Amino acid sequence: MIKLNLEAKNNSQQRILEYLQENVSEVLAEKINNGTPFTKDDKQLINKKTLDGFMKYASDEARKQAEKGVNSACVEDSVVFGWAIHYFEEDSIEGTLYNLDGTEYKPVVKASTKKTTAPIRTTTKAKQEDSGIKKTSFFDLFRNKKMWIKMQKTNRKSGLIRKTMWEKTYLSKII
């Protein structure tokens, strides 16, 4: 039986560990014990996988197999053991990443530049009705083409707006 550097924290993990120790090849045991080379953010790292990581992976795989709307699934032991071999064998599955000096890799978080915007104020229909003034929304103008055109002509005459290219092309087709 091959010795693996994995720590089982509960009975389920212990069963997986025992299966792996009895069935892994020497090459896979080497990957499990020493990790595999991994590149992330243009950095050379060591990818080491744990039984905790496998349990999360197995849970995600079981969820994929469950019927829609169901919160649980029954999976046969042989399938879970197959997932264990695949999880530890597949280099593209990311476990815990370590720098080449043995320290755990912490990705650099880039500072984001968030632009703050002023809150949009809306008036409710109740307030509009109380004031006795019927307010027209921007979308109401598109529903009522005649009102839109009349408003545009009034605003143009008063010098408030100029005719845009959109208006020149779109409104000329409507009229």
Supply the Cα-derived Rg of the chain in whole angstroms.
32
Q: What angle do CA 156, 160, 162 make, to 5 degrees?
A: 55
Could you list the pLDDT tens digit for every one of the 175 residues in the chain? Answer: 889 999 999 999 999 999 999 999 999 999 999 999 999 888 999 999 999 999 999 999 998 888 777 777 888 999 999 999 999 999 999 999 999 998 989 887 776 666 666 667 665 555 555 555 556 565 655 566 666 566 667 666 665 555 565 555 555 555 5
Hey, how many other C-beta atoms are within 10 angstroms of the C-beta on 24? 20
Does the predicted TM-score (pTM) go above 0.75?
Answer: no
Residue 7, sorted as left (phi over 0), alpha (psi -120 to 50) or beta, turns out to be: beta
